[in-house]
Chain A
Amino acid sequence: MDLQQTIQQLINGLGLGSIYALIALGYTMVYGVLRFINFAHSDVLMLGAFAALFLAPLVEKAFGPQSVFGAIMIIVFAAGICACIGMLIEFLAYRPLRKRPKLTVLITAIGVSLFIEFTCQNKAVFGAATRSFPKLLPEKQFHFGNLVIGSTDILVPLVTLLLLGVMWVIVQKTRVGTAMRAVSFNQQAASLMGVPVNRIISFTFGLGSALAAIAGILYSMKAPGIEPLMGVQPGLRAFIAAVVGGIGNLPGAVIGGLLIGLLETFAGGIPGLSSYRDAIAFGILILILLFKPAGLLGRATIEKV
């Protein structure tokens, strides 16, 4: 592998890694507050992509094709829809089980995930066939000698960084963030101190699902074929990323995502290794769990988020 190829793979890997990072942010956020993995997160990602698919023609009519403002509108609306879906899932599936053992909730989360996937594969909903995702923004490839950087490869890391910043501000600097940290620290004590626990948990789910929707749209811009099972593979990688980075830790999720994305890309470009990308992702997970169970940035403390 020469230098030029290495740099190209670095660019590819960062593009992919920031998508994983964005999804991992949502996983880690919900885990931070509720201490359980919301497996339906990757399906909300898919719903975000489909929301954008159906919104795109409407927005295009109003603002013309491939306008920046139109794209932002689509993302905001899709994120809003998915935030509502996320809160609904929490209300219907997780809230009734809140006092039960965490394992019950975890199993329910897997059930919710399968329910969404198979409902959406029904012909009456989206159908199982792969659909073409519309172009939301004009795409451009920048060539530097032999190197190619696509506009989405630049856009995705920027959005991820921006959202990481926004999340950090929300969690650390706002009243609602203080409440989230309080709920994560001790639900019962928080409610005794007047924190509306249900509303805070709803808000967390809404925020996490909005992140998933944005990730889904960016993912579909990179790979414009979408189907009801599209969330499974990136969802799994992002879950690994969240654990590797230290689950519950926001910057950890981003670092974990980038790490998995980069490793996967470099492995993918090497003959003989390219079919072991899943094995590599899981190998990292196992190594981390063996040697640094709290994750790269995780500390073995109780307070997280």
Chain B
Amino acid sequence: MKIRTFALPALVASIAALGLTNCKQGGGDTIKVGEFASLTGKEATFGTSSHEGTLLAIEEINAAGGVLGKQLELLTEDNQSKAGESTNAVNKLISKDGVVAILGEVASSRSFEAAPVCRDNSIPMISPASTNPSVTEVGDFIFRACFTDPFQGAALANFATGELKATQVAMLTDVKSDYSKGLAKFFKEKFLANGGTLVTELDYNGGDKEFKAQLTTIKNSNPQAVFVPGYYTDVALIARQAKDLGLNVPLFGGDGWESNVLLDIGKEAMNGHYFSTHCAADQGTPKMTAFVESYKKRFNGKTPDAMAVLGYDSAMLLADAMKRAGTTEGPKLRDAIAATKDFEGVSGKFSLNENRDAVKALVFIKIEDGQFRYTATVNP
């Protein structure tokens, strides 16, 4: 019995490996890179931004002559922001298309779904913006080009007690999202350690439209600020309904807020609120300024957000590792990515640590007059 349970996966793996090598040989003179993203659905603007950033990077790499004498070919699959779809998408990319590496996804829940597939097939995966620590814990083929939630949560807690001078904070978490729950946990640890009190902790389900029930209880608990580690579509409605109920304290959250849709839907109710994110288009570094310009040129004058920058950085990181590895073989490529030190990304200079996470700075953004304004950088 024992032999059989061992033999079966081994057989499957060897067949998969056979299939893979066949695909690679038949692949011709391009290097296939797979990408899975939420191009439609609830988090569509995240997926679209990271996809556009990735696309721009691949185009620039190819224009500069490609990698290892070959052009890169980006194959993109849409998971519709839905649970369960990412596994299918990545399975298809690996076994049918024969990609050598996977880029994606922004949302932690969906990266977490795809990661075991990549690990089991020995295909390196770089998530541009999944901040939940569990994503790279899946195995040594999984990397990320962004900071993690323990760092972001702690920075947000310090921000609450330091900048906002808020020691009485209420928290509203999306129970459907690993990202939200993770960020809430790390925020809470640090915030309590800083001497703060959580006056009330409530939940909502991502996609809800009605938050007045929770906001009424929050208002009654008299917080000095409200921590909302959610995604932009929900946060915008939360901010509007908070304003309607006369809850006039700052809301603050993490990088899940960053999207122009937040301002579209939230309108003036968003003013005076804060969030932390990976980088800001107006942060003024030369690499960022240059990136903003070429991105605008490529995508009809659209200003890039952090997800676009991270999509770009993750693709560049992969290309850089391919050059250093001199091959696209999974294990060697993995070692090269893991050895990345002082990589000059658009989002800033970063290295990958022993957990395959990027160690890098974050920025705080304040929303004023219906615009995102860069306020501060926090170094790790």
What residues of chain A have their CB less than 8 Å away from a CB belonging to chain B?
1-2, 4-5, 8-9, 12-13, 15-16, 121, 123, 127-132, 139, 141, 143, 148, 150, 219, 222-225, 227, 229-230, 233-234, 264-271, 274-275, 277-278
Q: A127-B44, A225-B233 are in contact. List 4 more A-B contacts (CB 8 A).
A: A223-B210, A223-B237, A233-B208, A269-B217
The interface residues of chain B lying within 8 Å CB-to-CB of A150 are 244
**CB < 8 Å neighbour of B202 from A8, A233, A274:** A274
Q: Which residue of the partner chain, among B175, B217, B241, contacts A275 with CB atoms under 8 Å? A: B175
Residues B261 and A130 in contact, CB atoms below 8 Å apart = yes
Q: Which of A128, A224, A233, A274 contacts B213 (CB 8 A)?
A: A274
Name 23 A/B residue pairs within 8 A (Cβ), A-sorted.
Answer: A5-B216, A12-B213, A15-B212, A16-B210, A16-B212, A121-B40, A129-B261, A130-B265, A132-B261, A139-B244, A141-B246, A143-B246, A222-B210, A224-B237, A224-B265, A229-B42, A268-B210, A268-B211, A268-B213, A269-B214, A274-B203, A275-B175, A275-B205
Q: Do the beta carbons of B175 and A130 come within 8 Å of each other?
A: no
Residues of A within 8 A of B40 (CB): 121, 123, 127-129
Assess whether B127 is interfacial by the CB under 8 Å rule.
Answer: no
- Kindly state whether residue B69 has any CB partner on chain A within 8 Å: no
- Specify the chain B residue showing the minimal Cβ separation from A225: B265
Contacts of A270 in B (CB 8 A): 217
Q: Is B200 an interface residue (CB 8 A)?
A: yes
- Which residues 216-251 of B have a CB within 8 angstroms of A? 216-217, 220, 233, 236-237, 240-241, 244-246
Chain A residue nearest to B44 (CB atoms) is A129
Which residues does B use to contact A, with CB under 8 Å? 40-42, 44-45, 80-81, 175, 200-205, 207-214, 216-217, 220, 233, 236-237, 240-241, 244-246, 261, 264-265, 267
> Smallest Cβ distance from A271 to chain B, in angstroms?
6
* A269 and B213 contact, CB distance less than 8 A: yes
A222 and B41 within 8 A (CB): no
B367 to chain A, nearest CB (A): 16
Contacts of B212 in A (CB 8 A): 12, 15-16, 265
Give which listed residue, B44, B45, B175, B246, contacts A148 with CB less than 8 A.
Answer: B246
**Interchain nearest-CB distance for A9 vs B (Å):** 6
Across the interface, name the chain A residue whose C-beta is closest to B216: A8
When the two chains form their complex, are residues B265 and A148 in contact, meaning their CB atoms are under 8 A apart? no
* Chain B residues with CB below 8 A from A271, complex form: 200-202, 217
Known: A150-B244, A278-B205. A132 touches B264 (CB 8 A): yes
Given contacts A265-B212, A269-B213, contact A128 B201 (CB under 8 A): no
CB distance from A55 to the nearest CB of B (A): 19
Check if A230 sits within 8 Å of B201, measured CB to CB. Answer: no
Nearest Cβ on chain A to B354's Cβ, whole angstroms: 35
Which residues on the A side are within 8 Å of B203 (C-beta)?
274-275
Residue from B205, B217, B236, B241 in contact with A5 in the complex, judged by beta carbons closer than 8 Å: B217
CA–CA, A230 and B220, complex, Å: 29
Closest A-B pairs by Cβ, 5 of them:
A268-B213, A223-B209, A128-B40, A275-B203, A269-B217
Complex: chain A residue closest to B245, CB-CB: A148
Docked pose: A16 CA to B264 CA in angstroms: 24
Q: Among the listed B45, B213, B246, B265, which residue makes an inter-chain contact with A267, where contact means beta carbons less than 8 Å apart?
A: B213
- In the complex the two chains form, is B216's CB within 8 Å of A269's CB? yes
- Min Cβ gap B223→A in Å is 13
Taking each of A16, A229, A274, which has the highest tally of chain B beta carbons within 10 Å of its own beta carbon? A274
Inter-chain CA distance A102–B63, complex, in Å, is 61
Report A-chain residues with C-beta under 8 Å of the C-beta of B244. Answer: 139, 141, 148, 150
- Choice from B205, B216, B233 contacting A277 with Cβ under 8 Å: B205
Beyond A129-B45, A225-B265, A269-B216, whether A219 also contacts B200 by CB under 8 A is no
